[in-house]
Amino acid sequence: VNVLVVSAHPVTESYTNHVRDRAVAALRARGHEVRVTDLYADGFEARLSLAERLGHHDGPAGRTVVAGYAADLRWARALVLVYPTWWSGPPAIVKGWIDRVWVEGVAYTLPEGTTRVRGNLRNVRRLVVVSSHGSSWWVNAVEGQVGRLLVMRAMRVLCHPLARRRWLAIYDMDRATDADRARFVARVERAVVRL
């Protein structure tokens, strides 16, 4: 199965990247075809540009910068996002990947004469998010987990109608022990290969 893993953390040796590497290794050990996008390593530009905004309805043809990212998205049968939760949502660089790559002609179409978006990522049959929360405080402050809603509802509706979703999170990272962290990695390894 084709699996696209998209990760983001500014620190190369971060726990986020460690979890990603273990997830990728687990997927490859099962024989899956895995493409890995590390947004920070790529120097991915988070800001939707003026040109992109003006060419909003032109489809991906003119967007050479994001064309490769869009091709990966259309190729994937499973999508795995790995990022730290900041401000109860994905880091700006991940939001930028969504703003810039999940565009009309890639993630959805807007058929002529309608105002209702049609999902274009029927190839994606599984959506997994792996995220860490720095402190349990955020969870208390922001009931409902904003980032979870974004990915699990807004993105999900553009995928295959029967696409399954899985949300894997480790909380209170500042107080997590090595054992807690190792347990979470094992949980991710088990969950991610269930395609």
Q: Report the nearest approach of a second copy to the CB of residue 147 (Å).
A: 8
- Assess 46 for contact with a second copy (CB under 8 A): yes
Q: How far is CA 20 from the centre of its chain?
A: 12
Q: Which is nearer to a second copy, 33 or 135 (CB)?
A: 135
Q: How far is the CB of 130 from a second copy (least distance, A)?
A: 19
- 152 token code pair: 């699990």
Buried b (16+ CB within 10 A) or exposed e, 156-187: bebbbeebeeeebebbebeebeeeebeebbee
- Sign of the dihedral defined by the CA atoms of residues 82, 154, 85, 168, in that order: negative
Identify which range of 9-17, 26-34, 71-79, 181-189 contacts a second copy by CB under 8 A.
Answer: 9-17
CB of 122 to a second copy, least distance (A): 16
CB 6 within 8 A of CB 97: yes
Residue 95 lies near a second copy (rule: CB under 8 A): yes
Q: Is 172 a residue that touches a second copy (CB under 8 A)?
A: yes
Alpha helices in 30-150 (DSSP H): 39-42, 50-54, 64-75, 92-101, 136-141, 146-149
Q: Which is nearer to a second copy, 47 or 122 (CB)?
A: 47
- How many Cβ atoms from other residues are within 10 Å of residue 68's Cβ? 12
Q: Least distance (Å) from a second copy to the CB of residue 78?
A: 21
Of 1, 30, 40, 166, the one binding a second copy by CB under 8 A:
40
Residue 6 C-beta: closest distance to a second copy, Å: 14
For the chain, first and last CA: distance in Å? 8
Residues of this chain that interact with a second copy (CB under 8 A) are 9-11, 40, 46-50, 52-54, 86-93, 95-96, 98-100, 102, 115-117, 135-138, 141-144, 146-147, 149-150, 153-155, 157, 172, 174-175
